[in-house]
Amino acid sequence: MSEGSVNVESRTSAQDKRWTIMAALLGTNTAFMLFQGIAQETNPKFIREIALAIIAATLPFQGIYFLIYTFLLEHVNELSPQRINSLNIASAICQVVSYMSLIGLGMMWFNISLYVGVAFFFSTALAIILIRSVMSPVTADD
């Protein structure tokens, strides 16, 4: 393989990992919205209302991420490099906003138990830092 060629398998694998993370986040958020929304109707709590609002605000960005991802896969050969770059930036913004839904999930855990909430927040922060640093673009120097 020449230096100028693209390793499609590793590039697709990284994209698939991001897609999988976002799919898991969307599934988790949807489940929380459903079950905690039912609980909110029967036993309203202010903290749960705020947490559900945060999660609800991030759901559209999770959906848009999948639309951008699919659009890029289908039209990558037809798009200009500038358009691909713009879509990649929009995709990254959607990912970051989607990660903010973890704040709402954490609030739910705090509502259940202080210790569980603190543990969730610390582990989430570390996990996000780890995943963002490991999945940063690879350069030739790496």
CA distances from 91 to 11, 19, 22 (A): 16, 11, 11
List, for residues 87-99, the tens digit of each pLDDT value.
999 998 998 899 8
Q: From CA 53, how far away is CA 48, in angstroms rounded?
A: 8
Q: From CA 62, how far away is CA 96, in angstroms rounded?
A: 10
> For residues 115, 38, 42 and 113, what is the CA-based torsion angle, rounded to 10 degrees?
0
Average pLDDT, the chain: 83
List, for residues 125-139, the tens digit of each pLDDT value.
898 788 777 766 656
Three-state secondary structure call for residue 104: helix
Pair of tokens at residue 10: 């590793």
Pair of tokens at residue 111: 């509502």
List, for residues 48-103, the tens digit of each pLDDT value.
999 999 999 999 999 999 999 889 888 888 989 899 899 999 998 998 899 899 88
126-136 b/e (C-beta count within 10 Å ≥ 16 → b)? eeeeeeeeeee
Three-state secondary structure call for residue 136: coil
Give the residue among 54, 69, 61, 63 at the shortest CA–CA distance from 111: 54
